Amino acid sequence: MPRTTTILGLLGVLLFVIGSYDGLFIAPADRFMGDIQRIMYVHVPCAWNTLVAFTISLVAAVGWLVKRSWTWDELLESAIEIGVLLGAFLVVQGMVWAKPTWGVYWTWDPRLTTVAVMELMFVAVLALRGFVDDPARRATWSAVATLVAYVNVPLVYFSVKWWASLHQVQSSPSTVDPAMVLPLRINAFAVLFMVIGLLGLRTRLARAQREALLADNGQDAGGAA
Amino acid sequence: MSGVMSGHFDTAVWVYVGTALGLAVYYGVLRWRMAASGITNDRRAS
């Protein structure tokens, strides 16, 4: 499994180089926004994969609550950390794009606000894990907190449809020039594969840390709580 | 074509560079944390 995730991670890096070159140098500049729109080819893939990472954490939370297997807790911790990282990239990229197009780095628009709340709530889940020493209790509390935090994910996705927003609604391939769809797709898979590669490493770290903690506590470090 | 923006190509490039650097730094910190936790061999640790 580590070998598979490593290969996927390296494939993601390669695709990211190709997709970014395409987005920066081959895809046409946007008719109205010009070259600043090229940020889309990294911003949107980060957005999609932030939501993917948080969805993985939701599955892991349910998995822990049902099965009580440490594997789910390790996946939950890893997916949230990587989702928060991508979410931070997403926010910064959006701010850089917003300044020349909207005139401000930040505004309390429904999409931006829901993303900020989502990001902060998942940061809070990680913080919660830091406050609880007992691994089983930590896993249960953070799984429940993840279920609560995940409510923000559909709110983020539908915010541009439900409320009047400066942020544009989701595009589809039928409304976008094919020359713009290609780098978007390449980078979407690039970031996804890099997320899988990082998850492979991060879950191993989570396992090692949990086993060390259980060993310190004189508890069995087996596969289930 | 009024309202067309120009002159932001460098900004777009820096966003890509910053994202790539951010991912690289996270990967490096992750590897450092793994080494600190005694994980050194990819295949054995599986």
The pTM for the full model equals: 0.92
What's the complex ipTM? Answer: 0.91
Chain A nearest CA to B36, separation (Å): 10
Q: Are A150 and A91 in contact (CB under 8 A)?
A: no
Taking Cα atoms as reference points, which of A56, A63, A48 lies closest to residue A93?
Answer: A48
A20 contacts B39? CB cut-off 8 A = no
- Note the pLDDT of residue B42: 53
**pLDDT tens per residue across span A23-71:** 999 999 988 899 999 999 999 999 999 999 999 999 999 999 999 999 9
Cβ-count burial of A141 within 10 angstroms (0-12 exposed, 13-18 middle, 19+ buried)?
middle
**pLDDT tens per residue across span A195-210:** 999 999 999 999 999 9
B42 contacts A3? CB cut-off 8 A = yes
Question: What is d(CA A63, CA A76) in angstroms, rounded to the nearest whole number?
Answer: 9
